[in-house]
Amino acid sequence: MPRSLTFKLTLAFLLTGLACVALVGVFARYQTSLEFDRFLREREQADFVTIVTNYYQQHGTWDGLAEVIRGAPPRPANSAPGQPGQPPPQQNPFVVVDQQNNVVVGSGQYRRGTNVPANIIALGQAITVDGTRVGTVISQQSSPALDQRERDYLERSNRTLIYASFGGALLALIIGVVLAQILTRPIRALTIAIGAMRRGEIQQTVHVSTKDEIGDLVLAFNQMSADLARANTARRQMTADIAHELNSPLSVLSGYLESMRDGILPPTPERFQTMYDEARQLQRLIGDLRLLSLADAGELSLKRQQIKPRQLLDMVAASFEPRANQQGIQLRVNAADDLPDLDIDRERMLQVLGNLVGNALRYTTTGGAITLSVVNDHECVRLDVADTGIGIAPDVLPRIFERLYRADPSRQEHDGGSGLGLAIAKAIVEMHNGTISAQSVPDRGTTMTIMLPSSFH
């Protein structure tokens, strides 16, 4: 059975919280028991030191201390320890040594009368009377025996730790559920939005509530959705535009052919020329569409060769000079001879520059000028096609490189423009690792700028 991300995150937070609570509980219980045992040992040792100190202050000697510690009557001076008839010594966790480091109260491995090394003496607690060391107490106890009150105290402490562990686990569960809900909320919103896109609702926007990786994911999704919506709108518009572009010459051709077939219009050279022009327009449009499709698929090949920028501009100017003279427009070339060579497809770049000059001639009135210039711009060569024409409106300028977009549809439909020239120019320039841009001032002119690497790799 699949588990949701919320369940997995909640379980992860819960397990992490339980692990932390368990570790804290174990260490707290261990440390509490350890410190409690040490407290008891220190208290028992302090009580024992007080007893033996008082004994020495009262008697001025250690004689008879062992019997007092065992709770037996003092042994006669001429008797020896361990004689028959004496009660067995009680278990005592402390060793008492005198000033000569001899054991007077034994315990464990230290028997009465044995001498204790100085390094062991240093670990014990000195017994002083009137500022003078009269003996030393050495502890031999491990964990002291607990009375009922002490056992009750430890039991209450353990019970408190258990309650705290359950409380911590419950708190971890609550925090885990809340955090899981917060973390997965944008993911759920993304899932809903993606489902809507699958149903055809392309434009989707998900609210960005965080500034982390998930927030970046939501921003990327919103941008992708907007791009897809724009692309979908552009695709629909392009389909409609292509249908319109194809329909216009076909309508003219079919109209003339139908009229000639029915005998309404007699066939004349002029009508045949009109039909021929429309067929050529149809061929140009289909060729441009094919060229763009090849560029989009990355199948448009380039035949590169070295060429001087001045030579490239001179070739373009020579092609359009008769037309410019006929329209009364000056066509100038400004280029130095010492510029670095360009590694380009000459025919493709001539197509690009020819398209730009053709547009400039189309929108420049009689008496105007078109200037082709080239300069060295750092590691690039900049080609400019500047005219003194009618210019481009600011709201139109960002869209002029879109396919089939026309700033002035009425003019282009009658002058042979397909609306694909600038889109083709942009595709070819980008295939050369270059860029193309436009700057324009209405009623003052437009400048098209191409930036190409001076040494293309």
Q: Which residue has the higher pLDDT, 97 or 142?
A: 97
| Whole-number average pLDDT of the chain | 81
SS3 content of the chain, % helix, strand, coil (to 5): 55, 15, 30
Provide the pLDDT confidence category of residue 383 given band limits of 50, 70 and 90.
Answer: very high
pLDDT for 411 beyond 70: no
pLDDT for 317 beyond 60: yes
pLDDT for 405 beyond 90: no
Determine which of 21-35, 292-306, 349-363 has the lowest per-residue pLDDT on average.
Answer: 21-35
- The pLDDT of 91-104, averaged and rounded, is 84
Domains parsed from the chain with CATH numbers: 1-73+87-184 (3.30.450), 213-295 (1.10.287.130), 301-453 (3.30.565.10)
Q: Which long-range contacts (CB under 8 A, 24 or more apart) does 235-241 make?
A: 237/404, 238/403, 238/404, 241/403, 241/404, 241/419
pLDDT for 88 beyond 60: no
- The pLDDT of 233-250, averaged and rounded, is 78
Q: What is the pTM of this model?
A: 0.52
Q: Specify the pLDDT at position 91.
A: 62
Provide the pLDDT confidence category of residue 60 given band limits of 50, 70 and 90.
Answer: confident
Q: Specify the pLDDT at position 5.
A: 67
Determine which of 140-144, 147-151, 231-235, 355-359 has the lowest per-residue pLDDT on average.
Answer: 140-144
Q: Which residue has the higher pLDDT, 171 or 58?
A: 58
Q: Specify the pLDDT at position 86.
A: 41
How far from the centroid of its chain's Cα atoms is residue 279's Cα? 55
Q: Which residue has the higher pLDDT, 81 or 363?
A: 363
Place of tokens 């989707």: 204
Smallest Cα–Cα separation from 142: which of 98, 93, 84, 206? 93
Q: Which of 109-113, 158-162, 200-204, 443-447 has the highest mean pLDDT?
A: 443-447
Please answer whether residues 375 and 337 qualify as being in contact, where contact means their C-beta atoms are separated by less than 8 angstroms: no
- The pLDDT of 281-292, averaged and rounded, is 83
